[in-house]
Chains A and B, each alone.
Chain A
């Protein structure tokens, strides 16, 4: 066989191997894993939005309640405002705790997903 033919054969062999490529093992459950992860991330966003909405509604409701009370009884309204201001750290810690718990919960779920 001539050198030229040998070279062509070698090139053809290389091209055949390159076109075939390595064997790729895609896990059978890969697509369902992906959709599960998308659902989990979507739920996390929805949960955060929900808690934010609850917080905003809570603050708004409290403001309306205070306004209504101030129209009926100015002194009690001032008393209520004083209580809210005095315990402001309690409210802030309570709200922060809800978000922190949710964050920790998601981290824990993440960890479990990675282990599996």
Chain B
């Protein structure tokens, strides 16, 4: 079993093997958060690596006041935001308008199952959303963070988080409804 306190204490004693275990434990979380914000494949890995280097550097400051996963997700979120700002890759809310006009076209209908296709469609829609929507949906649904934890991670007020989540889901639901109707007809 992964014992956070024991692993952290080993890492603080310069045990790199223990840090490798921590990386393995949280790499999916970091890749999910970074992956939702950063679009280029190679950059996703580089930013995720930078996240873990920051974690290693700042682990001494972790006070166990929050869950370790919340702390790690916050570092991942801030690193991804900094990356987007640095390379001016922030998208605007105008993308939501593009999303309204987005239609999914099947690339290889025989290759994928229906559920997988729906999942691909929804994930593509999410990728087209502005960062705030993407991160809130990812943290809430995928990583099962609470509103309070998402607030700690992103610094957004709870009301804003709920609003992004509500609007994002509503939009996805509407698009999914249209998509499924087309599938049936």
**Chain A contact residues, CB within 8 Å of chain B:** 10-11, 13-15, 17-22, 24, 26-27, 30-35, 37-39, 41
**A21 close to B173 (CB less than 8 A):** no
Q: Complex Cα distance A33/B16, Å?
A: 12
**A34 close to B142 (CB less than 8 A):** no
Instruction: List the B residue with the shortest CB-CB distance to A33.
Output: B49
**Interface stretch among B24-32, B74-82, B150-158?**
B24-32
| A-B interface pairs (CB < 8 A), number | 72
Nearest CB of A to B53, in Å: 6
Known: A10-B173, A17-B122. A37 touches B138 (CB 8 A): no
**A35 close to B176 (CB less than 8 A):** no
Interface of B is mostly: helix
Smallest CB-CB A-B distances: 5 pairs: A18-B141, A31-B23, A21-B142, A22-B123, A34-B52
**A38 close to B56 (CB less than 8 A):** yes
Known: A31-B23, A34-B52. A19 touches B142 (CB 8 A): yes
Known: A14-B172, A34-B53. A20 touches B45 (CB 8 A): no
**Chain B contact residues, CB within 8 Å of chain A:** 16, 19-20, 23-24, 27-28, 31-32, 35, 45, 48-49, 52-53, 56, 118-119, 122-123, 137-138, 141-142, 169, 172-173, 176-177, 180
Interface of A is mostly: helix
Known: A33-B49, A34-B53. A26 touches B28 (CB 8 A): yes
Q: Complex Cα distance A39/B138, Å?
A: 32
Instruction: List the A residue with the shortest CB-CB distance to B51.
Output: A34
